[in-house]
Structure 1
């Protein structure tokens, strides 16, 4: 289905009420060969295209069962409940490089610490949670100035805590047109501290330089990606996801966009830190890319 936060259009057949297609800025979803079981209707074929390029195609076989055995809802062998996230803490990933774990929401804030300043990546979910994270960062990096808050993109779950950082001396960085998006959601006072990044920019934290790259992503046009060269760590929001527990899934379209940015910038990445899920190594990212390409049909020969 289209990614949350993006405008989408839908074509519905008037006579039957069946959805024929749905379209986002980058992808088209086509639904065909509807079948009926009693009053239940479902397309038997779903096709996903990026422009004219075929991305995925599913054939669905649905079956209605009138009598369901109670044991059908038993948990499968090997099922693991979501683990206790533990207390709020700053996990050291590499020297001067941290990710916040144990938040009530399950979201993760990253931050980099230099000799005089700190850069923070995203302010998820709420001002209350961000205030706790901010206090943790100040405790972890005493005497350092909280100089930058880098917003990966302006979807509300990534920026809702921004007011907790909107203090004197903190520069809030957003992508192209991100200032307007922040103003619409969080008000003019917070937006007045936003600086838009429309070309690559370096942040000096004191003995640690952070590169900020704007990316016109299909997920959000104001996307920013941060790269810490000292620890070869890349901080991103929603471009690459690994579940907290479980196998590596194939990347979405946005993962291919991130791969292109890494190649274009010749970035030597060892680990990728996201707001959702667990952190990943370069090898795990490459595996997710391989899984995506393996699922794509081969290109037609001309």
Structure 2
């Protein structure tokens, strides 16, 4: 199933023109008018077949938020897309969803997550990012997940309005006869205001403005399939953005008798469960004067190298809190030494977000010129960027016996890695993503091939690749098998 970008962007143009909907001044209406219109809505939506167990196939195009700093070039953001098939049983509170994420450079995650009566798990179908291991999820998350999905289905999205018992006390009404639109402003609580706009003929939901959450939804391209009349196109704006955050399209909506019970179970051959991230960092010497910093989950891995009285850190994820913990651990272990530098591989947000903890201590930031430009332009750093000190890393440069290599690749316009030649260790971030249990991925992004080919052509000798994500002990054999499995 391919994403219809042309159809999506046509919808965006319609949605943007509709932004003026939210400048309407609400006129006072009688309680009878409000109740009559709500009754009309109830009669309209009651015509829909009951939807208790169903399947929905839908596409997502993500354009907002932190997209620029997860893109190949932060100056020209690429778009993340996803294809999802979701099955819900609203009475039993069961669900299963298969989602295929498509990222920059051909990176592709194919995951399934589900919830049955007692358990909720997530697992990878193509080997990434979890291998054969399982991620335990909370069964208490069903309602929040349901709400995320249901807001995309117009006749579910209006349910809070239709289920309101005090219509005259909580709903304000305005009808614009010239435009043929009716606005209902629902205030079910002091801190919650939601504005609904409907077309009068035909009677359809056009938009929802959840003012409390600062989210706006536009609904369009109504079609009738399998007895359901619903909006296939949903454009979402978050946090006051003037460009869409998500553009979504529902391809199909089908009634099911039940969810296949096999889909609500862990597939054969999967396990064990990934340990819960305990947040406790530990350091382990993996070569003379070279230390690995990680926790029980190994979601993020940082290295540091002791050189006389100075320490060089490699990696600054994923927020200042984690960076502060890392610094505290290092200095607690070596209280008489100082951290002189911190190195980052590329300007993606999850790799640079910890830098302020180092910058405020006057610690030198090492990165290639492109990454430094990205760091300087990162919106969250603007206020304090004058305090950041940088050292530009060149391709094939050696500092204190450590070799730095900067490669053009399809994941980030520039991405570098380091080779500790004397230790036989490579530290890299997103070039090579191998699951913690060494499960072979079914697809290898082009940038992984770029990295592997470079390592081979330069005949870099190593016994261990420390990945920033998850697997911090990738052997030469595993790298070779990963490459061969995708030839």
CA distance in structure 2 between the partners assigned to 1:291 and 1:274 by the alignment = 19
Tell me by how many angstroms 1:26 deviates: 6.1
Deviation at 1:249, TM superposition (A): 1.9
Say if 2:305 and 2:312, in contact at 8 Å, map to a contact too: yes
CA distance in 1, matches of 2:377, 2:390: 13
Contact 1:146/1:169 (CA < 8 Å) preserved in 2? no
**Is the CA contact (8 Å cut-off) linking 1:176 and 1:221 kept in structure 2?**
no
CA distance in 1, matches of 2:408, 2:450: 9
Give the Cα–Cα distance (whole angstroms) in 2 for the partners of residues 128 and 24 of structure 1.
27
Give the match for residue 476 of structure 2.
282
Does 1:92 find its partner at 2:275? no
The reply on whether 1:71 has 2:261 as its aligned counterpart is: yes
Aligned to 2:485: 291
Residue 387 of structure 2 is aligned to residue 195 of structure 1: no
What is the SS of the residue equivalent to 1:181?
Answer: helix
Whether the aligned pair in 2 keeps the contact of 1:177 and 1:222 (CA below 8 Å) is yes
Residue 80 of structure 1: CA displacement?
2.6
Shift in Å, 1:175: 1.5
Structure with higher helix content: 2
Choose from 78, 85, 100 the match for 1:8.
78
TM-score by length of 2: 0.45
**1:127 to 2:326 alignment:** no
1:108 is aligned to 2:304: no
1:176 to 364, 369, 392: 369
* Paired position in structure 2 for 1:42: none
Contact kept, 8 Å, 2:298 with 2:471, in 1: the verdict is no
Decide whether the 8 Å contact of 1:108 with 1:274 is kept in 2: yes
Residue equivalent to 2:195? none
* Residue 439 of structure 2 is aligned to residue 247 of structure 1: yes
Structure 1 141/282 Cα, relative in aligned 2: closer, same or farther at 3 Å?
Answer: farther
* Deviation for aligned residue 1:136: 1.0
Q: How far, CA to CA, are the matches of 2:321 and 2:283 in structure 1?
A: 17
Distance 1:228 1:91 in 2: 16
Higher relative contact order (CA 8 A, sep 6+): 2
Change in Cα spacing, 1:140 to 1:97, as seen in structure 2 (3 Å) is: same
Alignment of 1:223-234 (within 5 A): 223-234=415-426
The answer to whether the 8 A contact 2:298-2:470 is kept is: no
Residues 84/140 of structure 1: CA separation in 2 closer, same or farther (3 Å cut): same
Mapping for residues 206-221 of structure 1, pairs under 5 Å: 209-221=401-413
CA gap 1:104/1:285 in 2 versus in 1, 3 angstroms: closer
263, 282, 302: which one aligns with 2:456 = 263
With 151-160 and 180-189 compared, the bigger mean Cα shift is at 180-189
TM-score (normalised: structure 1):
0.71
1:169-200 residue CA offsets vs partner (Å, 9 max, x unmatched): 62211123222211121237446412222332
Q: Which residue in 2 is equivalent to 1:48?
A: none
- After the TM superposition, which residues 132-147 of structure 1 pair with which residues of structure 2 at under 5 Å, given as runs? 132-147=325-340
Quick one: structure 1 residues 225 and 74, their matched pair in 2 at CA, closer, same or farther if it must change by over 3 Å?
Answer: same
Q: Give the conservation status (yes or no) of the 8 Å contact 1:103–1:129.
A: no
Worse overlay, 194-203 or 280-289: 194-203
Segments of 5+ residues of structure 2 without an aligned counterpart are: 1-60, 81-101, 109-224, 229-251
Q: Deviations over 1:74-125 (max 9, x none)?
A: 2234443212445310122222222211178932212222233222111001
Counterparts of 2:104 and 2:347, CA distance in 1: 17
Structure 1 188/260 Cα, relative in aligned 2: closer, same or farther at 3 Å? farther
- Deviations, residues 231-282 of structure 1 (Å, cap 9, x unaligned): 1100111011122246132532111111232134331111111111112111
More displaced stretch, 267-276 vs 257-266: 257-266
